[in-house]
Amino acid sequence: MNILITGGTGFIGSQLIAQLLADDVEAPKQITVLTRYPDKARNKLGQLDGASNINFIQRLDELARDTVFHAVINLAGEGIADKPWTPQRKRELAASRIALTEDLVDWIRRAKHKPSVLISGSAIGWYGNQQDQILDENATAHNEYVHQLCHLWEQAALNAEQYGLRVCLIRTGVVVGPNGGFLRRLLPVFGLGLGGPLGHGQQYLSWVALADVVAVIQHLVADNSLTGVFNVTGPRPVTNQEFTSTLAGLLRRPAFFRVPATVLKLAMGEMSTLLLDGQRVVPSRLLQERFHFQHPTLESALRAALKARRKH
């Protein structure tokens, strides 16, 4: 099985590649990683068992027209919370998601042998700020910047359907895992006893364990009957207050320092909506599929992430 992956050095992508290679005993895989920085990617992924089965390319035109991929997994995208949302940054966010996806679909159009499936990243930001309303895959969106970004990203991927592919869109929540993502930023603060709720703390945070994100992607590759939108979140979203108290409890640290909304807005501008707005998202389609979550509760996900982090 040959797989083309974008975003292969990211938080999700690197763990996905490690898992795909670990599963090679039953189904050997050749993985091609599209990356702007092949040398850095080679250094990061080259230590994995089975790394000799990874090929690195910088441009899609490096692929021969008769290259055969069973699946394309599109996870690339600049970190949405890495820098303030200036007009230039918004252009970068769009290019790294929408323009790249358009390039992928154009390569699929030209490919002599079409992949069976395109699994393309998105985010629960598609729904916009919806307070405590429960959101499944059929929910409508609140029209705001992050929704518009995700919507255009998804539409670019859906264009691959005209070439006979299954297209699966994964709207991912806040990913909980060791050595990356949201948790990496919070641990130094909480470790000093300086953690606390953000704003009023009642906004919902739809989290998901990194291991479950990887398992969902593998499931979507394997099951030829699945197509369309999937919320990739844990089955039990929590409020920001609940998240804070759970993490502080596991770290045995206080969490008294509530950060007022006005402070976040002054410090982060429009990007503060990522922390102050909420989505109460449920993975209805995965639950209907009887997908087995390794970490169905936030406490389970956080415990696993903290344990894995201590091993490193």
Q: Domain residue spans in the chain?
A: 64-311
By three-state DSSP, how is residue 294 classified?
coil
Nearest Cα neighbor of 231 from 206, 260, 261, 264 is 206
The whole-angstrom separation of Cα 62 and Cα 34 is: 10
List, in order, residues 6 or more apart from 265 with CB less than 8 Å away: 272, 276
Q: Is the pLDDT of residue 140 over 80?
A: yes
Report residue 182's pLDDT band, with 50, 70 and 90 as the boundaries.
confident
pLDDT of residue 264: 77
Q: Cβ(286)–Cβ(216) under 8 Å?
A: yes
The whole-angstrom separation of Cα 74 and Cα 228 is: 15
Tens digits of per-residue pLDDT, 79-119? 998 899 999 999 999 999 999 999 999 999 999 999 999 99
Q: Is the pLDDT of residue 181 over 90?
A: no
The whole-angstrom separation of Cα 257 and Cα 260 is: 9
pTM for this predicted structure: 0.95
User: What totals of helices (H) and strands (E) does the chain contain, helices first?
Assistant: 12, 13
List, in order, residues 6 or more apart from 8 with CB less than 8 Å away: 14, 16, 17, 31, 33, 34, 35, 41, 45, 75
Q: Cβ(124)–Cβ(230) under 8 Å?
A: no
By three-state DSSP, how is residue 19 classified?
helix
Fold of 64-311: Rossmann fold (3.40.50)
pLDDT of residue 261: 85
Strand locations in the chain (E): 2-6, 30-34, 54-57, 71-74, 117-123, 134-135, 166-172, 174-176, 204-205, 207-209, 228-232, 238-239, 280-281
Nearest Cα neighbor of 279 from 212, 234, 227, 220 is 234
Q: Is the pLDDT of residue 267 over 80?
A: no
Tens digits of per-residue pLDDT, 192-246? 888 889 999 999 999 999 999 999 999 999 999 999 999 999 999 999 999 999 9
Chain-wide mean pLDDT for the chain?
93
List, in order, residues 6 or more apart from 267 with CB less than 8 Å away: none
pLDDT of residue 38: 93
pLDDT of residue 189: 87
225-254 core/surface letters (b: 16 or more CB in 10 A; e: else): ebeebbbbbbbebbbbbbbbbbbbeebebe
Q: Is the pLDDT of residue 262 over 90?
A: no
Structure tokens given for 223: 């099951």
Tens digits of per-residue pLDDT, 8-57? 999 999 999 999 998 865 555 799 999 999 999 999 998 888 889 999 99
Q: Is the pLDDT of residue 132 over 70?
A: yes
pLDDT of residue 312: 59
Nearest Cα neighbor of 34 from 18, 15, 49, 17 is 17
Report residue 259's pLDDT band, with 50, 70 and 90 as the boundaries.
confident
